[in-house]
Structure 1
Amino acid sequence: MKKISDEGFTVIENVLSQEECKKISDRLDVINAEEQEEFGKERLEKVNEIGILRSLLLKDKIFSELIIHPKVYPIICATVGETAILHLQNAIIVFPDKKHGQSHFHRDFAKDFVSSKPLSINALWMIDEFNAETGATWVVPGTHKMENWPSNEFLEQNAIQASGSKGSVLVFDSMLIHRGGSNSSSGIRRAINHQYTKPFIKQQLDFPKYLGKKYDIESKIGQVLGYWTIPPKSVSEFRCEPEKRTYRSGQG
């Protein structure tokens, strides 16, 4: 936790086995082909969505298991809090020698202020090897504490690559300035990005509405998916018994 606080990131090695990574990478390749068929490659290129797969938990149970994984989720609770919710779950597939939408320096929680405590934390699952050749993510240590955007010269001089073996997880403060690396290898580099936020921050997609009754509202994953922080749709809905409110007490 101290490394995340001080430098803005840490790498947890070998969270997933080689077999689990193989199963996930195979599913990602299938889903990617399906989405290119559904939306069309030209359309995806136009909206800069080539290699981006969203809301994977709707596609396969294996992806929902990552959301509250026992080796990663406790870090989310210790940083963002026990009531943190999932902001997004996106796969990022980087093809050899292809430019992608995450290749510029950016913040995943792009705000013009710095909070005294983390409002958002990312967990980037390395489904393939992350190294200089495959294009490991570049991070600029300490920039999660900078209110003003530093110069390009500063970013280039201080950026380091967060390498990790297949199955590792890069956990970082979403205010940390970072960018995706260039894949100069002969293979595809796959990753799955989870972003968790304080529950009063809007999700990228309305998971409760999108997923419907697919998940148990009373379960832990139901809370993480945002089922406990749905704004009431009317005054009468707000004035129901407290235990029946869609935005439960104590969620922030």
Structure 2
Amino acid sequence: MKNKFNYSEISAEKAMDILNQFGWLTYENALEPEFVNQINDSLDDAYEKRRVIQKKNGISQNMEGTLHHLIEPDNFALKFLERMYCDQEMQAFFGGNYIVNAFGGVMNSKNNRPYVQNIHRDVRSFMGDEKFMVQMMVLLDDFTLENGATYMLSGSHLIAAKPNDNYFYEKADRAIAKKGSIVLFDSNLWHAAGKNNTDGNRRVLTISFTKPQFKQQFDYPRSLGYEFGESLNDDLRQILGYKSRIPATLDEYYQPLNKRMYQPDQG
């Protein structure tokens, strides 16, 4: 199976052929090492902030090592999105505009058993041939067999039913790749993080993108602030969902075309 390439090595059309057949592909050398290190340097504080809230609200079990909704005004997330990684591939996948649905991460260590180690897919309703959601894993450490490289059941994005454990682990491929790689996959694909048997951490960003009419897991425009959004470039406003907001008052609803919260090119 040939689904590993250097970043920008293949066309968006070729990427779509691979995604349609296997459900996933890997781009190596996508992120510069300095940028990966910058992301890693910020994850410990981000994790502690979220872990406090998980424990306070009584949902800490099986949430170890998980970081949800990392987009903040002054961290690495906006810099990442601004670089428009895999933009042409996702434009082809969706047939047009898209937005970020969720932007999180996982720190997989020997002592953690996060829920992402369960066999799962990242969309709850099987979408068949419809292209509504795509996932991006950004590898912040090398992914190896020893440290829990993700199991990917190639072709399973075409299957509605969850495979049994024996079949899954016998047939699944492993997303073995270097730090700085990007794994792009159809959200229908059945997969599972592996168990980390090393003493090191195995970190990854986990980002989902959808068509604009899909509800985001987190209201990023409201969290960042509508006024803050005015300072962003047009690409970031699109990806963050500023062009597909939902009005909450009649005054917000009754606006000229150029000021509408949900813009006409969003599907």
Partner of 2:4: none
Partner of 2:97: 83
Indicate whether 1:96 and 2:106 are aligned: no
**How many angstroms apart in 2 are the aligned matches of 1:44 and 1:75?**
39
TM-score, normalising length from structure 1?
0.90
| Residues 79-228 of structure 1 mapped to structure 2, 5 A cutoff | 79-114=93-128, 116-212=129-225, 213-216=227-230, 219-228=234-243
Give unmatched runs, 5+ long, in structure 2: 1-14
Change (3 A) 1:40 1:109: closer
The structure 1 residue matched to 2:60, chosen from 46, 52, 74, is 46
Deviations 1:44-99 (A, max 9, x none): 76354322222222064422122243442222222124310000000111112421
TM-score, normalising length from structure 2?
0.85
| Residues 3-22 of structure 1 mapped to structure 2, 5 A cutoff | 3-22=18-37
Change (3 A) 1:88 1:179: same
Partner of 2:38: 23
**How many angstroms apart in 2 are the aligned matches of 1:176 and 1:40?**
28
Change (3 A) 1:46 1:250: same
SS at match of 1:20: helix
Letter paired with 1:155: F
**How many angstroms apart in 2 are the aligned matches of 1:110 and 1:45?**
20
Change (3 A) 1:82 1:183: same
Decide which moves more: 197-206 or 46-55: 46-55
For the aligned residues, what is the CA RMSD?
2.1
SS at match of 1:214: helix
Decide which moves more: 50-59 or 188-197: 50-59
Q: Percent identity?
A: 26
**How many angstroms apart in 1 are the aligned matches of 2:103 and 2:154?**
24
Change (3 A) 1:68 1:78: farther
How far did 1:220 drift?
Answer: 1.1
How far did 1:203 drift?
Answer: 0.5
**How many angstroms apart in 2 are the aligned matches of 1:149 and 1:83?**
30
How far did 1:221 drift?
Answer: 0.6
Query: What is the aligned length?
Result: 250
The answer on whether the counterparts of 2:64 and 2:112 sit within 8 Å (CA) in structure 1 is no
Change (3 A) 1:158 1:80: same
